[in-house]
Amino acid sequence: MKKILNNPADYVDEMLDGLVAAHPESYRRLGETGRVIARAGGPVQGKVGIVSGGGSGHLPTFTGYVGPGLLDACSIGNVFAGPSVGDCVDAMRAADGGAGVLRLYGNYGGDRMNFDMAGEMLEMEGMETTSVLVADDVASAGPEERAKRRGVAGLIYAYKIAGAMADRPGATLGEVTAAARKAVSATASIGVALTPCIVPESGRPTFSIADDEMEMGMGIHGEPGIWRGPLRRADEIAGEMLDRLLADTGIGRGERVSVLVNSLGATPHEELYILYRHLSRRLADAGVAVAVPLVGRYATSMEMAGASLTLLRLDEELEALLRAPASCPFWSM
């Protein structure tokens, strides 16, 4: 595989330079190390701030979703490596409008440790903070161990729901936190990988897989999935992913869901729409209505080929929050 880069050690910082240069109306780069992206206009006074963060290599997750109706700031680490404690502190300060700050991030050990430490440090200074972990990957743990699941593309729904609640006049930190938790509880995801990606600093594939193979349930960093075998037809792949999510969630006739069909990086929109074609028909046959379908690159893994499927079980409140206005270079509604 080939990459367009200069020095691998400068990969993330040069990417952040370019991101801010391309979208100066949306983003500014902050922090002692320059590893914080925040809203260009600064924190909104009187509004609950929302911060996230994680390793680079997943654009538009994480930094891409900073904007009105979404995140207020984000800290970023090296490729597939979590942000430092100092970067998490800087992001929280950048998001603080005086109404408290929600830490909203994926369920990974390093991110948990560093965001928790940052929260404790700022709470000692008087900042009110809460934390919500996104744990939506059904392939990584069963329903009885939901708290052990990895956070994957379900992050996008959590950002959107929490961000919309935070934009409501007078919304409290408790209300924004409750909305984020409700979104996480209503979300389930599963992925399928066809090829690995290469981390610039190492120059090696994250895993090996034969040209005629696929792996169901693989994580976005190459974590082991459920099974590996010959590449299947698109309808079979979509059908198994949907079957696993419906079995896990119990979603059934008469319910409404939002569907996110996400490229892991290299898989083109054409193939995503082939998957969505089958999914929409299956859900219609099952009596499940689809609202606000999302198809595209929302949470990637460098140039990995593959896709993920996420279902968000909707009620009246969640659907209203999902449809609320939001804006960033990677989202418009």
So which residues are the catalytic ones? 58, 221
Strand, coil or helix: 285:
helix
> What's the first-to-final CA gap in the chain, in angstroms?
36
Which secondary-structure segment (H or E) carries 20?
helix 11-22
List Cβ neighbours of 241 (8 Å cut-off, separation of 6 or more): 190, 192, 216, 309
Cβ atoms of residues 85 and 35 within 8 Å:
no
CA distance linking residue 205 with residue 195, whole number of Å: 9
**Backbone conformation region of residue 69, classed left if phi is above 0, alpha if psi is from -120 to 50, else beta:** left
Cβ atoms of residues 71 and 97 within 8 Å:
no
Q: Using the structure block, give the residue that is written with the tokens 């934390």.
A: 131
CA distance linking residue 136 with residue 154, whole number of Å: 6
CA distance linking residue 147 with residue 143, whole number of Å: 9
DSSP state of 305: -
CA distance linking residue 153 with residue 62, whole number of Å: 11
Q: Which two tokens stand for residue 48?
A: 């609950």
CA distance linking residue 222 with residue 207, whole number of Å: 6
CA distance linking residue 114 with residue 135, whole number of Å: 17
Strand, coil or helix: 241:
helix
List Cβ neighbours of 53 (8 Å cut-off, separation of 6 or more): 62, 74, 75, 76, 77, 82, 83, 87, 88, 91, 105, 111, 115
Reference 260, options 154, 179, 159; nearest CA is 154
